[in-house]
Structure 1
Amino acid sequence: MHDWIDRRRLLAFAGAAAVSPALGQETGSAHLHAMMAPDPTAPKVAMLVYPRMVALDLIGPMTVFTIMRWNLQLIWKERTPVSTDVGVPIAANATFAEAYSDPDILFVPGGLLGTIACMQDPEVVDFVAALGARAKWVTSDCTGSLILGAAGLLRGYDATSHWGVADLLPLLGARHVAKRVVRDRNRLTAGGATAGIDFGLVLVSELAGEEASRRDQLILEYAPAPPFRNGTPDEAGPERMADIRKGRVWMDEQARLAVEVARRRLAPG
């Protein structure tokens, strides 16, 4: 059974460290490191990072998986930090050449402008296609599903994406299902950025059982209570949706053009 980190153990450790500073500085720090270190027998997760990605798309699932002590690789062409939507750079810890050859999970986050650039980059698309063909689970959050689709990994599968571009999934051979998290066999896709935590908990439930996922959720104190019911197109209503789409016209058109190019590339013959 996994040696999960929970608040009770951390509080016990903190109390012991307070009584004995030497424990906190020496034995304690080593123990804490051991508690947090990935479990070599746990799933291997290959997580794509790329310029102009949405940080929350990555950080939500990454936090869920870290609590489980899964083995995480952040993968990009090189190890130099990539930009994110919030201005906090994220550095890969493995290059394409160093990536797991047989990951248990391939995960692709979103970020529409970065997603479009990845879809237009043959090196990225070929890498995702090759790794996805070997992964036990092929997964994404937000617009990351378009990258999976461009790599031919969603043909014949139910999938979802951010509401702004979810209608493009059928052009890449997927069946769009308007749900927060969609599973079809070994494909697991999630909607907008905040759905990444839900996605992570669903995947933990699939691989480690419901009780492990419940424990993870409790450690995170994940009990969403948004101030407004406005998080989906249906909740927002047609008037608000029409208004917000006005500011997305150029961006959504670029996504459609990139998807059309990918569709033609995937077409047989």
Structure 2
Amino acid sequence: MDIAFVLYPDMTALDLIGPYEVLGQQPEVTAHFVAESREPVRADAGLTIVPTTTFAELDRADVIVVPGARGWAKVLAEGVVAAWLREVHPTATWTTSVCTGSTLLAQAGILDGRPATTHWALRHELAARGAVVSTERVVVDGSVVTAAGVSAGIDMALTLAGLIWGDQRAEFTQLFLEYDPRPPYGTGSPETAPAELVAFARGVLVGS
């Protein structure tokens, strides 16, 4: 099974690494790190990842994983990722996104009329691009699976693992990763965080 993990400059590293840790270790999987070129790609916080292939070289994959980025608008404007997604999505078994990666799926026409989720601060942007926005952490609609912000990529990948290999494999993977979140603060969503913190975060995220 070929899984394409999409790379582009200033993407959010956990959007990619979380799903990779869940899916990339499965014995049936060959992971491909695909980007516009084979030059190292620097994520937003400085982590550098070396692509194994390019958009021009990889014209199909069984599963596609698209991370998001704080600078999502720039990636949309460049149009490179969306152009590749239009080409490969029709033959993929699963097309997935994490966080604002869903805006790239929408730009490619993949989310037209579909329920989908994204980072809470960008739901309006996703709606403006033709998706039916959900507030769920993970949304499965046919062959398309979208995740909310950043850490939700792990939930998305475990959901996908269950769909592909069955619940027992997904449960083992969750146990192996010791994925048992117990955050020290209760501010992980706009529904639970103080209003002033939500407003500040929205300004940072939407204005970036």
| TM superposition score category, shorter chain reference | over 0.9
Counterpart position of 2:33 = 74
Secondary structure of the residue aligned to 1:224 is coil
Pick the structure with more strand per residue. 2
Counterpart among 44, 49, 60 of residue 102 in structure 1: 60
Check conservation: 2:122, 2:206, Cα contact below 8 A.
no
Cα deviations by residue, 1:41-71 (Å, 9 ceiling, x for unpaired): xx21111100000111110000111221311
Secondary structure of the residue aligned to 2:95 is strand
Secondary structure of the residue aligned to 1:164 is helix
Secondary structure of the residue aligned to 1:165 is helix
Query: For residue 52 of structure 1, what is the amino acid of its counterpart?
Result: D
Counterpart among 208, 219, 223 of residue 180 in structure 2: 223
Offset at residue 240 of structure 1 (A): 2.1
Cα deviations by residue, 1:19-55 (Å, 9 ceiling, x for unpaired): xxxxxxxxxxxxxxxxxxxxxxxx2111110000011
1:163 aligns with 2:131: no
Q: Is the alpha carbon distance of 1:249 and 1:165 closer, same or farther for their aligned partners in structure 2, counting shifts above 3 Å?
A: closer
1:200 aligns with 2:157: yes
Distance 1:134 1:117 in 2: 27
What pairs with 1:40-119 in structure 2 (closer than 5 Å)?
A: 43-69=1-27, 70-99=29-58, 101-113=59-71, 115-119=72-76
Pick the structure with more helix per residue. 1
Q: Which has the higher contact order (CA 8 A, sep 6+)?
A: 2
Taking only the aligned residue pairs, the percentage that are identical comes to: 37
- Give the length in aligned residue pairs: 207
Check conservation: 2:70, 2:205, Cα contact below 8 A.
no
What pairs with 1:1-269 in structure 2 (closer than 5 Å)?
A: 43-69=1-27, 70-99=29-58, 101-113=59-71, 115-251=72-208
Check conservation: 1:45, 1:106, Cα contact below 8 A.
yes
Check conservation: 1:139, 1:188, Cα contact below 8 A.
yes
Secondary structure of the residue aligned to 2:112 is coil
Check conservation: 1:67, 1:216, Cα contact below 8 A.
no
Report the structure number with the largest CA radius of gyration: 1
Cα deviations by residue, 1:223-260 (Å, 9 ceiling, x for unpaired): 00001111000011423212322334532xxxxxxxxx
Which runs of 5 or more structure 1 residues have no equivalent in the other structure?
1-42, 252-269
Q: Is the alpha carbon distance of 1:227 and 1:185 closer, same or farther for their aligned partners in structure 2, counting shifts above 3 Å?
A: same
Check conservation: 1:143, 1:162, Cα contact below 8 A.
yes
- Cα root mean square deviation, aligned: 1.3
Secondary structure of the residue aligned to 1:85 is coil
